[in-house]
């Protein structure tokens, strides 16, 4: 009877890795010492595994020399770069917890996350695109300018001691990243060895912020065991090996970059290739050709942009074999074009969420194409998934319900938020994803909708509640509801429906300008509609789906 229920278990004969990330990297560096580990053409970086490992040790010792101790949180606020990788592995080696900060975050988000997890140190880029990070941090922590590096005392962020900037220019009160890369002393090496020996794989190594239905971002806290194993099995599904060179244009601050990209490579002795600081289609095409990449990751929007690029045909992409498309529903037609036109015959689809490290379903390179384009594949090794109805009972195969995940990949919880953690992970250890899915008789799953109120714009998640709470601060806004509306390029765009206070008037631009510089650009509503009220149920509950239908039609986006 049981096989007819929507419960699947990834029974597998390859065991889980029972190590922390530091010693694991050292082992890889011994086995694949001379293999390219990291290539970042725009920074002129080309490090072998032996070189990467040595730099990681230097940085780990440098961080400890600042007085940081195992368990302390270290924020990283930067676009993709080689230093990001060093911070990822050095914090792991030193028992520190790396906190990923979205490069698109602005003042209010930055202040919130640094405070929430009490970061002791922040590694940051000086600037990125339109954002002057130094100006933002000096605004959030005005004390930094007059402080001695390493002795910061800030009233707003009392835990923050060190601000470490990338690049060679000096900024008052800040350390330079390269200052932390001095050759370690024997005493420091012994201290590192002691830390590595004591560290357990179930300890936290990384906090990633995801937003939630309640407004503020929540810090999903992941362990060595969580992400090292997920990276390993993601690489297994792509059949990665030491000869592979994976082009990683997806952001490192998200699991897609640092787990599906970096850790999948490191666990297989493969090469990480960063085509740029952020996604830039021409640079991706040029890097795949120049570096003879065998793999390429991306959210569906990125693949669409590459395929439609006017210079697409001028690049030789024939070395490509595999990669992952994930993060949002992957249209079958895009998958087919990617297989046909980009030589990605072995591309796989993955599904997951930050809270589960992230991947729980992935198609394998040899699944039939029709299943690779229409499903998210089968359950990942060692994990369990069940699909349940509103009462929490497992539904029959083929019946829609909420997808729940259990196993080694489930996060410890949300940092400093027990209540939210308990809502997300139930007493039996199941993570409630809020995604609606069906599983067929063979175990292939398809995501068919979302029970949670979330918009995915080009792979970036937006929680309407967070934007609504921000817009409530506007003096003219009486009430506001945000919904996702269809968009050809990004999949979805955000629309804010605003009820103005009586007697006031406002323009769309005025509302958007209020957000600018305060919240990340991708969260700023693309559309603003001024309305009299919202469709309600008899019990006074706002009917978001009706509102979504209404504005979709009004904006002429239906169909
Ligand atoms: P994140 O925590 O940023 O990784 O976002 C996780 C959410 O992205 C999931 O809960 C899904 O709603 C969505 N998602 C991720 N991968 C897929 C996929 N392959 N198909 C459909 N939705 C996806």
Whether 178 maps to a domain, the answer reads yes
Which stretch of DSSP H or E encloses residue 256? helix 255-257
Ligand 1, closest atom to CA 354? Answer: 2
What interhelical angle do 107-116 and 133-140 show, nearest 10? 60
319: Cα within 13 Å, side-chain hemisphere:
19
| pLDDT, tens digit, 9 for 90 and up, residues 471-510 | 989 999 988 999 999 998 899 999 999 999 999 999 999 9
Within 10 angstroms of residue 524's Cβ, the number of other Cβ atoms is 22
Within 10 angstroms of residue 41's Cβ, the number of other Cβ atoms is 16
Whether 16 maps to a domain, the answer reads no
> What distance in Å separates the CA atoms of residue 344 and residue 53, rounded to the nearest whole number?
31
262 CA distance to ligand 1 middle (Å): 19
Whether 207 maps to a domain, the answer reads yes
CB burial readout 474-489, b (16+ within 10 A) else e: beebebbbbbbbebee
Place of tokens 């930050």: 354
Q: What CATH code is carried by the domain that includes residue 509? A: 3.30.300.30
Place of tokens 């937003």: 211
CB 105 within 8 A of CB 33: no
Which stretch of DSSP H or E encloses residue 296? strand 295-298
Nearest CA to ligand 1 atom 20: 329
Which of 202, 217, 232 is a domain's end point? Answer: 217
Number of domains into which the chain is organized:
2
> What distance in Å separates the CA atoms of residue 401 and residue 388, rounded to the nearest whole number?
5
478 CA distance to ligand 1 middle (Å): 32
| pLDDT, tens digit, 9 for 90 and up, residues 312-324 | 999 999 999 999 9
Strand segments (E) across 415-472 = 431-439, 445-450, 455-457, 460-462
Pairing between β-strand 204-210 and β-strand 401-406 as defined by DSSP bridges: unpaired
CB 188 within 8 A of CB 195: no
C-alpha separations of 58 from 89, 120, 189, 371, 488 in Å: 11, 19, 9, 46, 47
User: Which of 325, 326, 352, 374 should be mutated for ligand 1, with most atoms under 8 A from CB?
Assistant: 352
Which of 488, 519, 412 lies closest to 112, judged by CA? 519
Whether 113 maps to a domain, the answer reads yes
For residue 529, the model assigns a pLDDT of 96
Which of 193, 217, 241 is a domain's end point? Answer: 217
For residue 213, the model assigns a pLDDT of 44
Which of 217, 244, 269 is a domain's end point? Answer: 217
User: Which of 327, 357, 449, 450 should be mutated for ligand 1, with most atoms under 8 A from CB?
Assistant: 327
Which of 420, 364, 409 lies closest to 385, judged by CA? 409
Whether 135 maps to a domain, the answer reads yes
> What distance in Å separates the CA atoms of residue 222 and residue 229, rounded to the nearest whole number?
12
- Residue 530 belongs to domain spanning: 455-554
CA 109 to chain centre: 16
Q: What CATH code is carried by the domain that includes residue 126? A: 3.40.50.980
> What distance in Å separates the CA atoms of residue 79 and residue 124, rounded to the nearest whole number?
9
Estimate the share of the chain in helix, then strand, then coil, as percent rounded to the nearest 5.
35, 25, 40
pLDDT along the chain (559 residues), means of 10: 82 97 98 98 98 98 97 98 98 98 91 96 92 94 94 94 97 97 97 97 96 72 98 98 98 97 98 97 98 96 93 98 90 89 96 96 91 93 96 95 97 96 96 95 91 86 87 92 92 95 95 93 95 81 86 90
Pairing between β-strand 477-487 and β-strand 431-439 as defined by DSSP bridges: unpaired
40 CA distance to ligand 1 middle (Å): 28
Ligand 1, closest atom to CA 447? Answer: 21
C-alpha separations of 254 from 353, 431, 526 in Å: 10, 19, 23
User: Which of 328, 360, 411 should be mutated for ligand 1, with most atoms under 8 A from CB?
Assistant: 328
Residues in contact with ligand 1 by the CB-under-6-Å rule are 210, 255, 326-330, 349, 351, 353-354, 358, 376, 433, 435, 447, 450, 461
Q: How is residue 200 written in tokens?
A: 């357990």
**15: which DSSP letter?**
P
What interhelical angle do 508-515 and 464-471 show, nearest 10? 100
Whether 123 maps to a domain, the answer reads yes
- Report pTM: 0.90
For residue 331, the model assigns a pLDDT of 81
- Among positive and negative, which fits the CA dihedral 511, 514, 517, 520? negative
522 CA distance to ligand 1 middle (Å): 17
3-state DSSP call for residue 110? helix
Whether 519 maps to a domain, the answer reads yes
The angle at the Cα of 496, spanning 492 to 498, to the nearest 5 degrees, equals 165
Within 10 angstroms of residue 514's Cβ, the number of other Cβ atoms is 19
Whether 465 maps to a domain, the answer reads yes
């Amino acid at each position: 009877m049981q096989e007819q229920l929507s419960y699947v278990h990834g029974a597998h004969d390859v065991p889980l890795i029972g190590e922390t990330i530091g010693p694991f990297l050292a082992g890889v560096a011994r086995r694949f010492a001379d293999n390219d580990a990291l290539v970042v053409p725009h920074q002129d970086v080309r490090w072998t595994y032996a070189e990467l490992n040595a730099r990681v040790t230097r940085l780990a010792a440098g961080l400890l020399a600042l007085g940081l101790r195992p368990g302390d949180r270290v924020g990283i606020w930067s676009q993709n770069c080689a230093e990001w990788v060093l911070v990822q592995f050095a914090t792991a080696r030193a028992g520190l917890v790396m906190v990923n900060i979205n490069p698109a975050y602005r003042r209010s988000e930055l202040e919130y996350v640094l405070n929430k997890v009490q970061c002791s140190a922040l590694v940051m880029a000086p600037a990125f695109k339109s954002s002057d990070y130094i100006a933002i941090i000096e605004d959030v922590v005005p004390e930094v300018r007059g402080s001695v590096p390493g002795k910061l005392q800030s009233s707003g962020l009392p835990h923050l001691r060190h601000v470490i900037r990338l690049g060679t220019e000096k900024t008052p009160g800040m350390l330079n990243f390269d200052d932390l890369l001095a050759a370690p002393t024997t005493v420091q090496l012994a201290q590192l060895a002691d830390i590595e020996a004591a560290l357990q794989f179930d300890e936290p190594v990384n906090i990633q912020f995801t937003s939630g239905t309640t407004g503020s971002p929540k810090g999903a806290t992941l362990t060595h065991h969580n992400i090292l194993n997920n990276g390993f099995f993601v690489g297994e599904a792509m059949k990665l090996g030491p000869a592979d060179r994976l082009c990683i244009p997806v952001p490192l601050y998200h699991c897609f970059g640092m787990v599906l990209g970096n850790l999948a490579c490191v666990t297989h002795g493969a090469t990480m290739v960063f085509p740029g600081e952020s996604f830039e289609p021409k640079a991706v095409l040029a890097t795949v050709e120049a570096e003879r990449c065998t793999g390429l990751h991306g959210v569906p929007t990125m693949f669409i942009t590459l395929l439609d690029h006017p210079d697409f045909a001028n690049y030789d992409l024939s070395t490509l074999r595999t990669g992952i498309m994930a993060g949002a529903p992957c249209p079958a037609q895009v998958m087919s074009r990617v297989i046909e036109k980009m030589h990605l015959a072995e591309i796989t689809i993955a599904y997951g969420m930050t809270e589960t490290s992230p991947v729980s379903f992935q198609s394998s390179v040899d699944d039939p194409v029709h299943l690779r384009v229409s499903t998210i594949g089968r359950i990942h090794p060692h994990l369990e998934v069940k699909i349940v109805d509103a009462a929490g009972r497992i539904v029959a195969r083929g019946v829609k319900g909420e997808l729940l995940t259990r196993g080694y990949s489930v996060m410890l919880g949300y940092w400093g938020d027990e209540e939210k953690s308990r809502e997300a992970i139930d007493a039996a250890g199941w993570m409630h994803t809020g995604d609606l899915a069906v599983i067929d008789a063979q175990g292939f799953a398809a995501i068919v909708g979302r029970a949670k109120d979330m918009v995915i714009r080009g792979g970036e998640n937006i929680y309407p509640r967070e934007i609504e709470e921000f817009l409530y601060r506007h003096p003219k806004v009486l009430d506001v509801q945000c919904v996702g509306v269809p968009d050809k390029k990004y999949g979805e765009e955000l629309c804010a429906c605003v009820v103005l206070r009586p007697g006031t008037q406002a323009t769309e631009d005025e509302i958007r300008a209020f957000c600018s510089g305060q919240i990340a650009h991708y969260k700023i509503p693309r559309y603003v509609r001024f309305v009299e009220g919202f469709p309600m149920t008899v019990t006074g509950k706002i009917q978001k789906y009706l509102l979504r239908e209404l504005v979709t039609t009004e904006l002429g986006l239906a169909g």
